[in-house]
């Protein structure tokens, strides 16, 4: 099993308030062909962790630590060098496909941009590759001439996926890619991502707040709470035998489709006592 990405001791703080730690000492490893879900509530630092991998952190924030991608240290690269990796070896998908797509360009053109920039494809070869990508994500190739507003939310997210896998990345980062979608569409997109991951042997970093989604797509799970990783394990370990009190508490909040579970909100004061005792 080959390691694609290794984050060691990543700490993120605002530049003007270095004592406020947003992400604290996070370390993780992603392997080829595996989906790792980072799950946590808002403010847990899950998105910041993903953004720092892509070098897309806000200029107001400062990241310390090491991010090694295919043996290369990303934190020491300049923006130009990062650009040649982003969109080529690291693909990205975000939550809201409409805000990620340019409304005045056809989707075919937008998928083609990465191919031209990174692989130098042009003309008929480019057209052919775009058509094949659309087909791979389940959109009729004729839709290459459509504008984003002519597509449904699910189709737009498929276009985003086509863009992100265009250059056959080693790592795909998906930040809440199905949160804005209807449940039936969500199920389709999750299945598509899972198939692509397996077929292209990608490492996938999947950010979500939904344990149901975790159960569907994850191989490994990382639980974050207030900027720290509180638990790591395989999907089965974390979902069925959680060790950390926060993971247990978070799972107890999730309603199940069978309605058997007694919902229990998190008692933060109790968690704090527990932490102090430990």
List residues near other proteins by CB under 8 A: 41-42, 153, 182-187, 190, 209-216, 235, 239, 249-250, 252-259, 261, 263-266
Report in angstroms how near the CB of residue 262 gets to other proteins at its nearest: 9
Question: Whose Cβ is closer to other proteins: residue 119's or residue 185's?
Answer: 185
DSSP class of residue 202? -
Nearer to other proteins, 68 or 209 (CB): 209
Let me know: does 15 contact 60? Beta carbons within 8 Å.
yes
CA distances from 58 to 12, 14, 51, 55 (A): 11, 9, 9, 9
Q: How far is CA 150 from CA 140, 145, 155, 157, in A?
A: 14, 10, 9, 13
Minimum distance from residue 110 beta carbon to other proteins (Å): 24
φ, ψ of residue 228 to 5 degrees: the values are -120, 150
Report the relative pairing of strands 23-31 and 3-14 from DSSP bridges. antiparallel
Smallest distance, other proteins to C-beta of residue 253, A:
4
Decide whether 25 or 95 has the Cβ nearer to other proteins: 95
Give the Cα separation of 19 and 76 in Å (integer).
23
Residue with tokens 């993971």: 247
Question: Shortest distance, CB of residue 274 to other proteins, whole angstroms?
Answer: 16
**Which CB, 119 or 252, lies closer to other proteins?**
252
Minimum distance from CB of 255 to other proteins (Å)? Answer: 4
| Cβ(250)–Cβ(258) below 8 Å | no
As a whole number of Å, the CA-based R_g of the chain is 19
Q: Nearer to other proteins by C-beta: 124 or 269?
A: 269
- Residue closer to other proteins by CB (options 79, 262) is 262
The tokens for 82 are 């990062």
Burial grade of 212 (CB within 10 A; 0-12, 13-18, 19 or more): middle
Q: Which two tokens stand for residue 198?
A: 């397996």
Neighbouring CB atoms inside 10 A of 3's CB total 14
Q: Which is nearer to other proteins, 115 or 207 (CB)?
A: 207
Tell me the closest approach of the beta carbon of residue 157 to other proteins, in angstroms: 14
Closest separation in Å from C-beta 186 to other proteins: 7
């Amino acid at each position: 099993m080959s390691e694609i990405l290794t984050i060691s001791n990543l700490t993120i703080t605002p530049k003007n308030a270095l004592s406020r730690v947003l992400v604290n000492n996070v370390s993780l490893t992603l392997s080829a062909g595996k989906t790792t879900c980072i799950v946590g509530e808002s403010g847990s630092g899950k998105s910041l962790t993903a953004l720092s991998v892509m070098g897309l952190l806000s200029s107001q924030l400062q990241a310390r630590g090491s991010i090694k991608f295919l043996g290369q240290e990303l934190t020491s690269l300049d923006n130009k060098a990062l650009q040649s990796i982003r969109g080529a070896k690291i693909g990205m998908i975000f939550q809201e496909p409409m805000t990620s797509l340019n409304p005045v360009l056809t989707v075919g053109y937008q998928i083609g941009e990465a191919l031209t920039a990174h692989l130098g494809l042009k003309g008929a070869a480019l057209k052919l590759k775009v058509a094949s990508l659309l087909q791979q994500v389940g959109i009729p190739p004729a839709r290459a001439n459509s504008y984003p507003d002519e597509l449904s939310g699910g189709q737009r997210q498929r276009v985003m996926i086509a863009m992100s896998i265009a250059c056959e990345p080693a790592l795909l980062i998906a930040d809440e890619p199905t949160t804005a979608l209807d449940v039936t569409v969500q199920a389709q997109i999750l299945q598509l991502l899972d198939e692509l991951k397996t077929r292209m042997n990608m490492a996938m970093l999947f950010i979500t707040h939904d344990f149901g989604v975790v159960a569907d797509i994850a191989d490994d799970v990382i639980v974050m709470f207030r900027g720290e990783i509180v638990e790591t394990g395989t999907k089965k370990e974390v979902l069925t035998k959680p060790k950390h009190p926060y993971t247990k508490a978070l799972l107890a909040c999730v309603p199940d489709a069978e309605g058997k579970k007694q919902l229990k909100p998190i008692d933060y004061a109790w968690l704090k006592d527990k932490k102090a005792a430990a």
